[in-house]
Amino acid sequence: MALHVELVSPERIAYSGDAKMVIARTTVGDIAFMSGHVPFVGVLQTWPVRVLHDNDNEDVIAVHQGFVEVSPTDAEGNSRVTILSDVCEVSDTIDVARAKAAKDRATHLLAGDPNDEAAREALARAEVRLEVAGQPKSGTTHP
């Protein structure tokens, strides 16, 4: 009854491992997957994906849009969650200074023009990056 998680970006497999639960945010809301989930395909928002392990540790990965697919459980009851995204970043690959600069820039642009879509997206990305980079290994809880 294992749950295998894979985060795949176009250039490589960014993260791969077993987990107890995976929490992601689709365009319609948060969703959590555990082993035995029904086959599912969803469109993701720019939001950190949380991977919870059996020992209550968690990995947080910045995912900038993309898809999540839960494939049908196989004969042994193992499930597989695959997240496809243009950008998957684990905390140690994030350049905090650059993300901060990007956030300031986007905030500045938004202050000048509140309808700037590109700036809004850039701000969301920068915020997700900073959140993932500054994330303690476990602790923060979302309802």
Partner 1 sequence: MPGAQERVLRRRIGAFQNMKKITRAMELIAATRVVKAVQAAGDARPYSEHITHVITDLASAGAAGDHPLLSQPEQVRTVGVVVFSSDRGLAGAYNSSVIRAAEREVLAAKDAGQGYVLITVGKKAEAYFRFRGYQVHTAYNGFTEKPTYEHAREIAAEITSMFGESVDEVRLAYTRFVSMGTQEVSVRRFLPLETGVDPASAGAQAAQAQFEFEPSPSAVLAALLPRYVESRLFAALLDAAASELASRQRAMKSATDNAQELILKLSRKMNQARQEAITTEIMEIIGGAEALAADQGDDEDLLLDHLFSDPFPALMSDRQFTNIRTKP
Under rule CB under 8 A, which residues in 59-118 are in contact with partner 1?
66-67, 69, 71-72, 82, 84, 86
- Cα 54 to chain centroid distance, Å, stands at 19
Do 60 and 48 form a contact (C-beta atoms < 8 A)? Answer: yes
Tokens for 77?
Answer: 């009851």
- Residue 119 CB, shortest distance to partner 1, in Å, is 20
Q: Does 11 bind partner 1 (CB under 8 A)?
A: yes
H-assigned helices in the chain? 96-112, 117-133
- Cα 69 to chain centroid distance, Å, stands at 13
On the CB side of 70, how many CA atoms lie within 13 Å of its CA?
A: 21
Contact residues for 65 (Cβ-Cβ < 8 A; gap 6+): 43, 44, 45, 46, 85, 86
Instruction: Using CB under 8 A, pick the residue from 3, 8, 102, 133 that binds partner 1.
Output: 8
- Residue 33 CB, shortest distance to partner 1, in Å, is 11
- Neighbouring-strand partners of residue 83: 7, 68
C-beta closer to partner 1: residue 11 or 92 = 11
- Residue 108 CB, shortest distance to partner 1, in Å, is 25
Instruction: Using CB under 8 A, pick the residue from 3, 9, 51, 79 that binds partner 1.
Output: 9
Q: Does 32 bind partner 1 (CB under 8 A)?
A: no
- Residue 56 CB, shortest distance to partner 1, in Å, is 27
Name the amino acid, one letter, at 85.
Answer: S
Instruction: Using CB under 8 A, pick the residue from 1, 2, 41, 96 that binds partner 1.
Output: 41
The DSSP bridge pattern shows strands 79-84 and 3-9 to be parallel
Q: Which residues bind partner 1 (CB under 8 A)?
A: 6, 8-13, 26-28, 31, 38-43, 66-67, 69, 71-72, 82, 84, 86
